[in-house]
């Protein structure tokens, strides 16, 4: 792949609520990227980190996530500040991805099949996963049979899709609102059902925390035969009331 290739391999993913996502199938990421092309995609410090990753799969997944994140951020930044090699994706105090010095929010997710990212001016969390990863009986403490059954009944999806959607919902909520142990929080976040507009109804103990002023929490879901994804996003009240 030459330096004259497209600026990024990332493509538009499903629009979740009001937000367009960026996605990249992992098998589209070159195993041995051209050095000049790679230098156009990564900040010098990111390039240094990429060279420090010895496991090929970790290199591929990490690069795919960065490409998607930068594509998501570029739609919100002035053109003169949006060159991929100028954008350094960092982490905040809770280890969430961020663009240091910017008020933008960013979320990145990987499955065995693809990377995805989304960015906006308000808090958000994104997660995606392939169905086979979350079918193990050992995960029932995080995604209960009752939650799966009510999701099948009220959203009209298969049990396989329901389990993945619930998993992604809880992961996305954790990325947006959680800290500490995902397992402990996911066990406590129990789903009672879904509203007519596919918004989750939680138990009283798992109720949404206060959203930023003038906003409310909104969930967007997407599923197909291979995978599912979920977005938790703070939106102005008028957009989801």
Domain ranges in the chain are 11-121, 127-239
Q: What is the pLDDT of residue 46?
A: 96
Q: Are 25 and 112 in contact (CB under 8 A)?
A: no
Summary mean pLDDT of the chain: 91
How many other β-carbons are positioned within 10 Å of the β-carbon of residue 85? 16
Q: What is the pLDDT of residue 2?
A: 41
> Is residue 198 left, alpha or beta, with left meaning phi > 0 and alpha meaning psi from -120 to 50?
left
- Would the CATH topology of 11-121 be identical to that of 127-239? yes
Find the angle CA(167)-CA(174)-CA(55) to the nearest 5 degrees: 75
CA atoms of 179 and 92, how far apart (whole Å): 12
Question: At residue 167, does pLDDT exceed 50?
Answer: yes
Question: At residue 238, does pLDDT exceed 80?
Answer: no
Closest residue by Cα to residue 11 from 99, 63, 72, 62: 72
DSSP 140: G
Q: What is the pLDDT of residue 4?
A: 39
Banded pLDDT at 74 (limits 50, 70, 90): very high
Q: What is the pLDDT of residue 5?
A: 42
Share of the chain above pLDDT 90, in %: 78
Q: Domain 11-121 sits in which CATH superfamily? A: 4'-phosphopantetheinyl transferase domain (3.90.470.20)
Q: What is the mean pLDDT of residues 39-56?
A: 94
Question: At residue 75, does pLDDT exceed 60?
Answer: yes
Radius of gyration of the chain (CA): 18
pTM flag (> 0.85) = yes
Report the Cα–Cα distance between both ends of the chain, in Å, rounded: 47
Q: What is the mean pLDDT of residues 44-72?
A: 94
Sequence-distant (≥ 6) Cβ neighbours of residue 171 within 8 angstroms: 109, 125, 127, 129, 182, 186, 230
Q: What is the mean pLDDT of residues 133-146?
A: 88
Question: What is 127-239's CATH number?
Answer: 3.90.470.20
CA atoms of 41 and 8, how far apart (whole Å): 7
Q: Are 115 and 26 in contact (CB under 8 A)?
A: yes
13 vs 48, residue with greater confidence: 48
Q: What is the pLDDT of residue 3?
A: 40
């Amino acid at each position: 792949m030459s330096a004259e290739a497209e600026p990024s391999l990332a493509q538009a993913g499903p629009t979740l609520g009001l937000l367009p996502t960026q996605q990249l199938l992992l098998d589209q990421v070159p195993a041995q990227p051209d050095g000049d092309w790679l230098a156009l995609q990564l900040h010098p410090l990111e390039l240094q980190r990429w060279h420090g990753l010895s496991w090929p799969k970790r290199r591929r997944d990490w690069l795919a996530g960065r490409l998607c994140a930068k594509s998501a951020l570029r739609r919100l930044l002035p053109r003169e500040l949006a060159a991929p090699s100028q954008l350094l994706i960092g982490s905040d105090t809770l280890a969430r991805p961020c663009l240091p010095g910017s008020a933008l929010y960013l979320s990145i997710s990987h499955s065995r099949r693809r990377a995805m990212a989304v960015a906006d001016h308000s808090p958000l969390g994104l997660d995606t996963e392939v169905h086979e990863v979350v079918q193990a009986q050992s995960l029932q403490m995080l995604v209960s049979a009752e939650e799966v059954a009510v999701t099948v009944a009220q959203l009209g999806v298969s049990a396989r899709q329901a389990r993945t959607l619930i998993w992604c919902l809880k992961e996305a909520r954790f990325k947006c609102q959680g800290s500490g142990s995902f397992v402990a929080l996911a066990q406590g976040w129990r789903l009672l059902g879904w509203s007519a507009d596919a918004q989750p109804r939680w138990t009283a103990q798992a109720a949404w925390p206060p959203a930023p002023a003038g906003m409310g929490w909104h969930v967007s879901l997407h599923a197909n035969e291979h995978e599912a994804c979920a977005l938790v996003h703070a939106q102005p009240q008028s957009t989801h009331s």
